[in-house]
Structure 1
């Protein structure tokens, strides 16, 4: 059968329906209780072999429904990576492989293309003894992977934010399902093009920030029942960033590490000299490469807000405040740095949304870098302070406070919580992991609740503050036209300033 005519078992069953009577032999007869036929597996390619990809790989690879067939990263060796702990990834891999000595000779944090391939190959060789496993393929360039890996049906992208849009678009145009970390892209125009491609191709997409968190249902029910009157504002704050943020471009020129393809890492971004301050875990603070704390963490916490409260259109205005940086010049004078390169150390954003049906206009606030709202009198009445991270829903007759993801929600003050719910303690809540959700969506060929289409408005909202930061003032936005109406010269910030040849979107 020719390449274009090959179909797997689940595709065959979907086409035949009731037209053919089949005698199906149960899987457990063929290969054991947990056996999954090779034709029913997701043939997965990993784009990006950094710390987060490998951390997730140590649990994902054990899922019999998934077969990692290829990996890709422009970094061959584990150089310059940072992580939450010096041995967390190393210990996870040791446990996965049953090898307490694995990685003993690796200096620093284990990551990179060679290490990722080694983990995949050793794991599958361990669980498939007898020499039947032939190893996964490895590439430095994801474009080569997409061209050569014909049987790969899905990619999982965990790369710096500036690569997300181009990698997702090229993958979808090759017919690959795309599972990806947030954000969809780090530029508004690229994000829209990515979602547009998802609609046009019909492949399965899933943003890994999705999780089923029912605490938002609790909050919405309380508000619908009148607990705080009419909802006017939502506030969300984080202690991020957890990475350094530099207000100026680096001027020194360290050498490119051995085995690191700097051109491939830059991708669509115009050429510039290599510097480790741009790469790996510290890229998020740069406008060109990241999308700041708000897109790093805000998509986790705010996406359910958009879903539960029916926010289906981006905001009509955006205000952005940020800390300033000053230096003493060689002439011993004070001088403010005009920063057009990176996010401030701390930010406060305010988005204004139009009324939605029966719901009135809404203001949404974001705080990071240690900023948060002033402690409300309802908290002071109970002798409490706002937590380090949190979310607050403000109505014209009261407030609801919760953790960063609205977890452990409670009406404040406590006397109002008892009056309205009959108890002082927050109600029990639960969180549904997204792994089973995206795996089942791919296997069934169905849209995931975590699709790019679902997150589109939230994702765009988290990208718009960059426009206000660069403009240095409040911006008025027409979301239908994707146009800044005031000041009009800020429209250029909705697009990437320039593309390297061959990387245009």
Structure 2
């Protein structure tokens, strides 16, 4: 497809999306003719006034996609690193620029309608909560939060403050997940008993020690603001802007990065709640014969996590979900030919009558064997999100203009909160493997967390059979920083 045709297709897709959504919310909001595809000028007063916090990398693309929807004005930009903000500042030259999100929210409170949060994981909840408490609609990158407690509190806050929310797992709005729902609802694979999710992440260092060499802080970076809620440490090289994902103080590892794209399809299709129990094994680094290295600050280089979920009407009893990262993959299903692709990131559903699979974001859904797809005539009954994956951004802006509760979203915090909790419960089992207890004779340590299956109490938000792990359910913020609840 040439560039002009692609541009026209994008414009038509966006126009169709906004028309469809506007019709669905008739009587709730009035959209100007320009947004509906007619001639005319879209007045600034009709636009959603957006502030972006964390505007480099993914934040840059988030703002670009939201802007494409046609009803948003990117009026404010905020980033602790001037280098990372440079491209967004060029894209939105009229936007006012801040370094500290607290100053932005205080000074521009009356001028902002919505806030897009695309910072590192450890500061998501703190910033989003501050915005919601001011009545601002929020779009927050995945994973929604760093801690389970934060995810629970953001979901509660969205309802309390009646603001429109969305997590940035765009596959939740894609057509692929809805096709999987159609097949499951039609009984094509029977009741599902096992799911496999796998990823080639991490694509950053894990299973390493914290660097011992202190480095000079770049002039463009406010290191204290970047740390935010995390414990103070001296600046080191190769942490900002990408490799923080592999450190527990800031990131949530491979499942935190990719779980919202890969665990979301089975959670949505099968109606899963928090897991009942979790167990795991992790890859490790050896420093000598039979001597396992100890790196509690860093996520492991690979992991295999097994979660049990309570039975739903789509499952054959309690469901087993396997998560694999670091290059670990499940056995190829025998229904898949030897030269047929079994990708580096994917999801495999195993049912009592057959199997189906998809790629990351729920894309490329396939029945197995692949020959079944040529003859498949299953009706499309699951409602689609207008605009699909792109519509994930636009629907948040449309919903924010319509007002709380007027437009259904694919990953609002009522959905994204529990999904994020599930991913972080899985991380509890990983963190438990590094908890060490001195031996009774005082010589060396035991690692009891490596040998157990943790049991999760959702109502009380705690592990019931290994209390030491509960320290990771709700971390302590650095002095001077607060979630505000």
State whether TM-score is above 0.5: yes
Report deviation, 1:377.
2.4
Distance in 2 (alpha carbons) for counterparts of 1:49 and 1:499: 24
Distance 1:376 1:117, change over 3 A: closer
Give the counterpart of 1:50 among 44, 56, 64: 56
Distance in 2 (alpha carbons) for counterparts of 1:27 and 1:398: 49
Distance in 1 (alpha carbons) for counterparts of 2:32 and 2:277: 58
Give the counterpart of 2:107 among 144, 148, 172: 148
Matched with 1:440 is 398
The aligned runs of 1:5-404 (5 Å cut-off) are: 33-61=39-67, 63-76=69-82, 78=83, 111-112=84-85, 115-121=87-93, 135-149=94-108, 150-210=110-170, 211-311=172-272, 313-328=273-288, 335-356=291-312, 359=315, 360-379=317-336, 384=340, 386-404=342-360
Report deviation, 1:440.
0.6
Q: Deviations over 1:314-349 (max 9, x none)?
A: 001111221111125xxxx76421121121111211
Distance 1:304 1:383, change over 3 A: closer
Residues 237, 367 of structure 1: 8 Å contact kept: yes
SS at match of 1:190: helix
Distance in 1 (alpha carbons) for counterparts of 2:280 and 2:319: 17
Distance in 1 (alpha carbons) for counterparts of 2:98 and 2:302: 38
Report deviation, 1:385.
5.8
Larger radius of gyration: 1
Report deviation, 1:136.
2.7
Higher relative contact order at CA 8 Å, sep ≥6: structure 1 or structure 2? 2
Distance in 2 (alpha carbons) for counterparts of 1:294 and 1:502: 26
The aligned runs of 1:439-458 (5 Å cut-off) are: 439-447=397-405, 448-458=409-419
The aligned runs of 1:453-472 (5 Å cut-off) are: 453-472=414-433
Distance 1:478 1:357, change over 3 A: farther
Residues 306, 458 of structure 1: 8 Å contact kept: yes
Report deviation, 1:206.
1.1
SS at match of 1:243: coil
Residues 234, 393 of structure 1: 8 Å contact kept: yes
Residues 391, 405 of structure 1: 8 Å contact kept: no
TM-score (norm 1): 0.77
Residues 278, 286 of structure 1: 8 Å contact kept: no
TM-score (norm 2): 0.80
Structure 1 residues not aligned, in runs of 5+:
1-16, 19-23, 79-110, 122-134, 424-428
Q: Deviations over 1:123-147 (max 9, x none)?
A: xxxxxxxxxxxx3321111001000
Distance 1:197 1:413, change over 3 A: same
Distance in 2 (alpha carbons) for counterparts of 1:316 and 1:243: 30
Distance in 1 (alpha carbons) for counterparts of 2:466 and 2:478: 24
Residues 212, 431 of structure 1: 8 Å contact kept: yes
Residues 34, 64 of structure 1: 8 Å contact kept: no
Residues 204, 441 of structure 1: 8 Å contact kept: yes
SS at match of 2:127: helix
Distance in 2 (alpha carbons) for counterparts of 1:25 and 1:456: 30
Structure 2 residues not aligned, in runs of 5+:
1-26, 379-383, 434-448
Deviates more, 1:177-186 or 1:268-277: 268-277
Residues 229, 396 of structure 1: 8 Å contact kept: yes
Do residues 476 (structure 1) and 433 (structure 2) align?
no
